[in-house]
């Protein structure tokens, strides 16, 4: 599908051969009522292919964070459907939705959300420990090397730099081998060097460990680490870009500014 076609149809769906880790169909999200109504998502259909790194971009208020939150089951759609794999989220009660998020989804946020009293090793395995799951020791060991934390496992968060803390958060998100990891502005609190390290780490997790990452960002440099960028405006999917570069993404974002 070309960018023009995607913009015309409001959809971005992987081809039939691609396995879809997450998707929303005809997604509508409305906040408020009457004069205060905000239509944050306006009929978005998009699939996130497994084994790919996808970035979501758009102007402020475009609906990019809302799309991620609804796709990840952190918020509910007003209408339409959201799936993780073949599981429709609206069909789950609160308990089963909580279990699905715990077992099949990883999250990385702008805030690191580490437990200060736990070591790096304990923070990485915390979701597994809370679930009473042993986890795959071999997988976690390999993950520690991918994120470059082998010599920090006994340290506590206060003894780490911001970039190192976010690497712990990334390792924690991947520890349970989730179907998809959603990252919301994961470099927002980092300096440029640390941010580049974390983005490189997300890319390696996708390409070396066959993971799936969906990242919301406002930064064209960050988006350039992805395999594909999806662009939202006014709650609608309006374009997509394969093999992005920072310059191409910036030019596309400038076009939004000119339009608005």
Residue 15: pLDDT band (50, 70, 90) is: very low
DSSP character string of 154-179? T--GGGS-HHHHHHHHHHHHHTT--S
Taking alpha carbons only, the member of 184, 167, 218 closest to residue 57 is 218
Residue 248: pLDDT band (50, 70, 90) is: very high
Instruction: Please check whether residue 228 is in contact with residue 54, taking contact to mean a CB–CB distance below 8 angstroms.
Output: yes
- Predicted local distance difference test score (pLDDT) of residue 4: 38
Strand partners, 31: 38
- Give the tens place of pLDDT for each residue, 16-40: 446 899 999 999 999 988 888 999 9
- Give the tens place of pLDDT for each residue, 156-175: 999 999 999 999 999 999 99
* pLDDT exceeds 90 at position 224: yes
Q: How far apart are CA 254 and CA 258, in angstroms?
A: 6
**What 3-state class would DSSP assign to 137?**
helix
Residue 12: pLDDT band (50, 70, 90) is: very low
- Predicted local distance difference test score (pLDDT) of residue 18: 66
* pLDDT exceeds 90 at position 255: no
Q: What are phi and psi of 87, to 5 degrees?
A: -95, 120
- Give the tens place of pLDDT for each residue, 37-67: 999 999 999 999 999 999 999 988 899 999 9
The structural domains of the chain, ordered by start, are: 51-69+93-259 (3.40.50.300)
Q: Looking at residues 81-92, what average pLDDT do you find?
A: 96
Q: How far apart are CA 46 and CA 229, in angstroms?
A: 12
State which of 80-84, 107-111, 128-132, 148-152 shows the largest mean pLDDT: 80-84
Q: What are phi and psi of 92, to 5 degrees?
A: -100, 140
Strand order in the sheet with 53-57: 105-108, 180-184, 213-216, 53-57, 228-233, 236-242
Q: What pTM did the predictor assign?
A: 0.89
Measured CA distances, 129 to 82, 84, 133, 145, 211 (Å): 28, 23, 6, 21, 22
* pLDDT exceeds 60 at position 240: yes
CA 103 centroid distance within chain:
16
């Amino acid at each position: 599908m070309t960018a023009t076609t995607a913009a015309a149809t409001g959809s971005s769906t992987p081809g039939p051969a691609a396995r879809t880790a997450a998707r929303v169909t005809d997604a509508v999200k409305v906040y408020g009522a009457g004069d205060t109504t905000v239509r944050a998502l306006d009929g978005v259909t998009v699939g996130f292919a497994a084994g790919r790194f996808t970035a979501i971009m758009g102007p402020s208020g475009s609906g990019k964070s809302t799309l991620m939150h609804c796709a990840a089951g952190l918020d509910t759609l007003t209408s339409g459907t959201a799936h993780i794999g073949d599981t429709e989220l609206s069909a789950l009660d609160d308990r089963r939705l909580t279990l699905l998020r715990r077992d099949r989804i990883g999250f990385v946020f702008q805030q690191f959300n580490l437990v200060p009293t736990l070591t790096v090793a304990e923070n990485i395995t915390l979701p597994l420990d809370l679930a009473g799951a042993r986890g795959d020791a071999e997988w976690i060991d390999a993950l520690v090397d991918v994120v470059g934390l082998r010599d920090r496992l006994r340290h506590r968060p206060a003894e780490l730099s911001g970039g190192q803390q976010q690497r712990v958060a990334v390792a924690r998100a991947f520890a349970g081998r989730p179907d998809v990891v959603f990252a919301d502005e994961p470099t927002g609190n980092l300096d440029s060097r640390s941010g580049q390290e974390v983005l490189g780490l997300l890319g390696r997790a996708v390409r070396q460990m066959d993971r799936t990452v969906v990242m919301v960002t406002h930064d064209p440099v960050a988006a350039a680490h992805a395999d594909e960028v999806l662009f939202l405006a006014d709650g609608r999917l309006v374009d997509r870009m394969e093999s992005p570069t920072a310059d191409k993404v910036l030019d596309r974002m400038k076009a939004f500014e000119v339009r608005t």
